[in-house]
Amino acid sequence: MALKGKTAVVTGAARGIGYAYCRRLAADGANVVAVDIDDPSDAVQELEGGDHLGLVCDISDPAQVDAVAGTVLDRYGRCDILVNNAGIFPLADLDHLTIELWRKVQAVNVEAILLFARAFAPGMRANGWGRVVNTGSGITLTQNRDLAYLTSKGTVHALTRALANELGESGITVNAIAPGLVPTEGFLGRTRENGPTADEVFARVTALQTIKRQSVPADLGNALAFLVSDDADFMTAQILHVDGGMTRTGA
C-alpha cells in the first residue's frame, strides 16, 4: 500500500495497458481516476480498495480536460500521479494521410499530455511531490511507416524530457514507458490489407526479443509501480523501454 492517500489520474484507462496501470495503482493503495473517451465505469468497478472514479473525456478537447481536472480537484483536492496513456494509431501512409488525421493524432497523443500537465502540475509543485509518466513507444526506433503515430511518439519522448527539465526542481519527476508490442484490443483491431496477421507479427517480434515470450499489460504496470514510487526519486527525463530486450539501445 505504498501509494495509500495518493490520487492517480490515468488516461486511456478503460482497457488494455491503461487498465493494467489502474489495477496496479489501485493495488498499491492509490485512489484512481480512470479517464477514457469510452465510459470506464465498468472497469472502475473492478478495481480493489480506494475511492475510484471513472470519467468520460475527449482528451483532445481542452475544455473537457479542464472539466476533468476540476472534478478531480473538487473530489480529492489533489493529483499526485498523472499517467498519460491514451493514444490513437490509425494506419495511413503518405498518400492517404490527411492533415485532419495528422492533427488529430498529435492532439490526442501529444497535446493532451501538455493539457493535463498544465492542469495538475501547479498542485504537485505546491505539495513538493509529483509523478508524471507518459506512454511512449519503442516504435520510434524501428522501420515502422505509420507516419502520424511514429512522429507523435517521438514527440512524446521529447516532451517527457522537456517537462522533466522544467518541473524537476519542484520535486516532480517525469518519465516515459516505451512498450514493445502488446496484445491489446487496440492493436488486435488494426489490420493492413494484404499484411501479416496479428499472430504472425507477434511471432516475428518475440523472435527478436531477448526474453522469448509475448508481452502482457501487467509488464507495463510493474514498471509504472516503480516509476511512481519513492524508489524512483532520482530518476527523471528517462524513456524506459519495457519490451523484453527488443530495444538494446536508443532514445
72, 52 Cβ separation under 8 angstroms: no
Active-site hit among 19, 21, 76, 149: 149
- Give me the sign of the Cα torsion angle 236, 27, 244, 180: negative
Dihedral over alpha carbons 117, 119, 125, 131 (to 10 degrees)? -40
Dihedral over alpha carbons 116, 20, 31, 35 (to 10 degrees)? 40
**137 backbone dihedrals φ, ψ, rounded to 5°:** -170, 140
Q: What is the distance between the alpha carbons of residues 48 and 121, in angstroms, rounded to a whole number?
A: 27
* Distances in whole angstroms, Cα of residue 238 to Cα of each of 32, 33, 109: 24, 25, 18
165, 155 Cβ separation under 8 angstroms: no
Residue 19 known to be catalytic: no
3-class DSSP state for residue 226? Answer: helix
Q: What is the distance between the alpha carbons of residues 35 and 62, in angstroms, rounded to a whole number?
A: 14
* Radius of gyration of the CA atoms of the chain, in A: 17
Amino acid present at 122: P
Please choose, from the candidates 50, 21, 23, 175, the residue with its C-alpha nearest in 3D space to the C-alpha of residue 113.
Answer: 175
Which residues are catalytically annotated? 149
